[in-house]
Amino acid sequence: MSVSIAIRKKAESLREQIRHHNYRYHVLDDPEIPDAEYDRLMRELLALEAEYDELVTHDSPTQRVGDAPISAFGTVQHELPMLSLANAFSEDELREFHRRVMERLELEGDAELSYAAEPKLDGAAVSLLYEDGVLVRGATRGDGSTGEDITHNIRTIEAIPLKLIGKSYPARLEVRGEVFMPKAGFEAYNARARAAGEKTFVNPRNAAAGSLRQLDPKLTAERPLDMYAYSVGKVEGGQLPARHSEIVDRLRDWGIKVCPERRVVLGVEGCLAFYKSIGERRNALSYEIDGVVYKVDSLQMQRELGFVSRAPRWAIAHKFPAQEELTVVEDVEFQVGRTGAVTPVARLTPVFVGGVTVSNATLHNIDELHRKDVRIGDTVIVRRAGDVIPEVVSVILDRRPKGSRRVQLPKTCPVCNSHIEREDGETVARCTGGLFCAAQRTEALKHFVSRRALDIEGLGAKLVEQLVAIGRLKTPADIFQLNATELSELDRMGTKSADNLIASINKSKSTTLARFLFALGIREVGEATAASVASHFGRLANVIAATEEDLQRVPDVGPVVAARVRAFFAEEHNLEVIARMQEYGVVWQESDPKVVAEDGILGGKTFVITGTLPTMTRDAAKDLIQAAGGKVAGSVSSKTDYLVAGEKAGSKLAKAEKLNVDIIDEADLLKLVSR
């Protein structure tokens, strides 16, 4: 069936519109239409092309991922070599470059020499060949004279037009630029890969280069790649302007994306000001850069300056301090934070990176350490970007020495020797010695004396810090041994305020079990939970003796809180501090534990609740079960009698099925309790 002229025109018009909107979106960063409208145009074109095979052209915007995988890369001879640039690592080196340029051009004043300046992207250099405005070839830089043919992958990058827009472009135009992965795309890609247990990219540069060297363009299409053009190579059948900056502007007019940060600057001072301004914004830019590039803007001057060996005399890359360097892991230590979080830290052979000497780098957490397989003795890439804490990026496995040592999470806290606990599904391990641990001391004390806890008036945060600093307060028990004489000798503390403080310390000794439990600062145990636990158990000894299951019978105590309370009281160091406080006269009224309806209708039965119930919250269901004498546990085991399953029940349901646990729904539960 032949295609009518009207339909041909329709398809061509859709392509023109899509190209125009691509240009607005990618090049100008100023879309005219919402994404939904763009998608509609695209669908319309796809439908037409599906109906009439012969309408499909290789430069159609629908044909980005159409190419079949290749078995090997072809080679591309660059007609004009893709040169590398000389580098300046300091202001002096840049001034020296500028002086030589001035001298060769026999110029007198700075004002006579303008440079085109732009950020130096950290990606992969590419060459794009357009013939009659149609993209016909994409190539890597390779060794500068021979690159690899990556046309099939280049076509998948939406920022690269398959066809130029406008009319005045040369018949044959080679565009050069940098393909890169924006930081946000890089982070998102790695997050997804990590969640799927796949390999992550070390940095955006490797991500870009690796993505371009895929045999299957479908894989490249999944990578969030972008491109900025920065120059032209071979040009035939057309005239270009006489200045580099104007050529780049022209590329943009033809629909090719260029860096919005590019500027024309005057003389060496202009270069330095640009360097400083970009350097200050380096971390805020959406892409990685490793410096800035200055090119003599006049092509006439460029020709006069010529080349030395394989680098132009008219351009230089002014590098920022490297953000990644190699060094050796001498040891791995574990640091304990103010809240007890235990973090592995690599002790490194000192290395100059990101503008400072770095000798420690974080490994984030034990899972991350094991995922990266960092061992003592390894050579690693350490990264310091901006003000971010230096981190170990990856291990150079080739350089792993014999006798490198694996690192395990210690069983006890390196600061206070209390047990380290890590709950299921948590990445962070914590020291359980909350009352005792020097690393957690200041925070624990500030909480202990606060108004809703023991409420010791006159013992503020500043004074706590002061007393910790001089070693007078190690645990909350020490508070009750302070005396007025020593307090009055502190800075800004007279006899009168010392006496007042002792009085309020003494007053705080008479408290309630709820306040006392809250004051202990057990993670996740807020005022309300402390009050429920206190009223449920009545006596501190009962709380200390309670199992996780016992604890979960308290209203609003779930498995997580129960585990934390249990871990806290299982730590001897904490019990010692509590015993000392009681010895020093801290008291509260105790009472008999609440009688739990063991003989209720559900007495002796253990329930687990999972998923979303149709009418009630899980907490409400739990209250209902407990009121009828049943127990609610956090996980399914052979002791579970019933699993109450709602919508989206997951692994618990599967486990219950496996263990032949009775599975009931909300309606069944209501029947059970109303029997």
Residues at the site binding Zn ion, with contacts judged by CB under 5 A:
413, 415-416, 418, 431, 433, 437
In degrees and rounded to multiples of 5, residue 415 shows phi and psi of -90, -45
Q: Which is nearer to Zn ion, 394 or 574 (CB)?
A: 574
Three-state secondary structure string covering 364-384: CCHHHHHHHCCCECCEEEEEC
Q: Which is nearer to Zn ion, 125 or 413 (CB)?
A: 413
Structural tokens at position 418: 């209390």
We find the least distance from the C-beta atom of residue 338 to Zn ion, in angstroms, to be 11
Q: Which is nearer to Zn ion, 62 or 418 (CB)?
A: 418
Q: Are 148 and 141 in contact (CB under 8 A)?
A: no
| b/e code 89-111 from CB counts within 10 Å (16+ = b) | eeeeebeebbeebbeebeeeeee
We find the least distance from the C-beta atom of residue 438 to Zn ion, in angstroms, to be 7
We find the least distance from the C-beta atom of residue 416 to Zn ion, in angstroms, to be 3
Structural tokens at position 664: 């009931």
Q: Which is nearer to Zn ion, 291 or 434 (CB)?
A: 434
Distance CA 167, CA 171 (A): 10
* Active-site entry in 120, 622, 631, 652: 120
We find the least distance from the C-beta atom of residue 413 to Zn ion, in angstroms, to be 3
Q: Which is nearer to Zn ion, 250 or 446 (CB)?
A: 446
Distance CA 83, CA 231 (A): 12
Of 302, 299, 363, 369, which is closest to residue 335 (Cα–Cα)?
363
Residue 565: burial class (beta carbons within 10 Å; 0-12, 13-18, 19+): buried
Q: Which is nearer to Zn ion, 342 or 348 (CB)?
A: 342
Residue 457's beta-bridge partner residues?
Answer: none
Residues in contact with 143: Cβ distance below 8 Å, sequence separation at least 6, in sequence order:
none
Structural tokens at position 590: 């105790």
The residue to which tokens 């890169």 are assigned: 180
In degrees and rounded to multiples of 5, residue 304 shows phi and psi of -65, -35
We find the least distance from the C-beta atom of residue 428 to Zn ion, in angstroms, to be 14
We find the least distance from the C-beta atom of residue 440 to Zn ion, in angstroms, to be 6
Helix residue ranges, H only, 117-236: 151-154, 183-195, 204-212, 217-221
Q: Which is nearer to Zn ion, 345 or 487 (CB)?
A: 345
Distance CA 669, CA 601 (A): 12
We find the least distance from the C-beta atom of residue 475 to Zn ion, in angstroms, to be 12
User: Which element (helix H / strand E) includes 235?
Assistant: strand 226-236
User: Which element (helix H / strand E) includes 154?
Assistant: helix 151-154
Structural tokens at position 336: 């304990």
Active site residue 496: no
The residue to which tokens 């490194």 are assigned: 348
Please give the DSSP secondary-structure letter assigned to residue 149. B
Q: CA triplet 265, 266, 272: central angle to 5 degrees?
A: 70
Q: Which is nearer to Zn ion, 414 or 629 (CB)?
A: 414
HSE-CB of 269 using CA atoms within 13 angstroms: 4
We find the least distance from the C-beta atom of residue 335 to Zn ion, in angstroms, to be 11
List the catalytic residues. Answer: 120
